[in-house]
Structure 1
Amino acid sequence: MKKIIIFFGLIFFLSATVSADTKKVKVIDGDTIHIGTIKYRLFGIDAPEIKQICEKDNKKIECGILAKNFLKNKIGDKIPSCITNDKDRYQRFVAECFIGNESLSRFMVREGYAVAYSQYSKDFVEDEKFAKENRLGIWAMSFQMPSDYRKASKNK
């Protein structure tokens, strides 16, 4: 009987370890996260690319890294819940992800670390307006729109 209890205890421990491991969150950049093996592109927003540089007071700022770290700090050790809308051309799930009841997409745009991707959704346009008017995040700097930065980088 002891062997059976130990066996089931070991199986429970291993399955708990595996499921905890598959729920590991990795922040790739300001609009992409991986939860376990699933890749998510945050819906309706566009954040600076990792290598993107912005400028403030004649200083170069790694605004792509800044956006990534801002999202990473927001998520902390929590696991976002995501509602999938679609898949993009890179086979990532396009999803609105939440920490509790707070949309990460809305948070990133309202705090100024992403822009509303209005070609795909108008959901966060007012949040962008708020960030822009209050010069939050990248709106306090000179920057190239992330989509324009990608196009320019592709042509180099």
Structure 2
Amino acid sequence: MAYGRRTAFRQRSETSRWMIGLVMLGGSLAIYAYEKITRTPDTPISGSAFVADGDTVRIEGNRIRLIDIDAPELEQTCYDPNGKEWPCGEVASGELRKALRGKTLTCQPHGLDQYRRVLATCSLPDGTDINAWMIRQGWAVSFGYARVYDKEETEARSARRGIWRGTFTEPHKWREQHPREDTVEPPR
């Protein structure tokens, strides 16, 4: 009888070891996957860019948010000097698309935003900082605490380029006034 209990004990012990091993393996895989998803790339990201909007591009599956700038949303409209409405969000993204067409874009990662997009400063092969270019052309505003591109914004505003030729709502304020349905938090 003692022999039967020992065998049953060994079988349970063996099963417990397997279960603990599987749990540890599953935990390790979960940690690896989480780090891979939330980790900022260590090296620059280069390639042909797909323009999602005036401050977001995609390169080889990486969603990249141009850091320190804020361009009008695709659906956003602005007003020209005569008060006529025009699709500034579409125009801004179209201008970025034209600037990048047929060129390799290289983006230096600085972190991730709340949507897990890579925050980056991006440049063209000739060294042009595309973030600064968007602001200098008047297709985006300087954004963030550092206000890195204030000089370029002042230049665009003085020359009345892009969205500065008339009036507009700052893109971050426009987003507050027009929340997207897919980003609204459910009621609690």
| TM-score between the two structures when normalised by the length of structure 2 | 0.68
Q: Report % sequence identity.
A: 31
Asked whether 1:52 is paired with 2:76, we answer yes
Matched letter for residue 142 of structure 2: A
Q: Higher strand proportion, which one? A: 1
Corresponding position of 1:150: 175
Corresponding position of 2:118: 93
Instruction: Name the CA distance, whole Å, in 2 between partners of 1:55 and 1:123.
Output: 26
Gap regions ≥5 residues in structure 1: 1-21
Corresponding position of 2:129: 103
Instruction: Name the CA distance, whole Å, in 2 between partners of 1:131 and 1:27.
Output: 22
Corresponding position of 2:166: 141
Matched letter for residue 173 of structure 2: D
How does 1:30-45 map onto structure 2 within 5 Å?
Answer: 30-45=54-69
Instruction: Name the CA distance, whole Å, in 2 between partners of 1:99 and 1:24.
Output: 11
Runs of 4+ in 1 over 6 A off after TM superposition: none
Gap regions ≥5 residues in structure 2: 1-45, 182-188
Instruction: Name the CA distance, whole Å, in 2 between partners of 1:69 and 1:120.
Output: 27
Q: CA RMSD in A?
A: 1.7
| TM-score between the two structures when normalised by the length of structure 1 | 0.81
Matched letter for residue 131 of structure 2: S
Q: Which has the larger radius of gyration?
A: 2
How does 1:65-104 map onto structure 2 within 5 Å?
Answer: 65-100=90-125, 101-104=127-130
Count how many residue pairs are aligned between Structure 1 and Structure 2.
134
Bigger shift: residues 52-61 or 136-145: 52-61
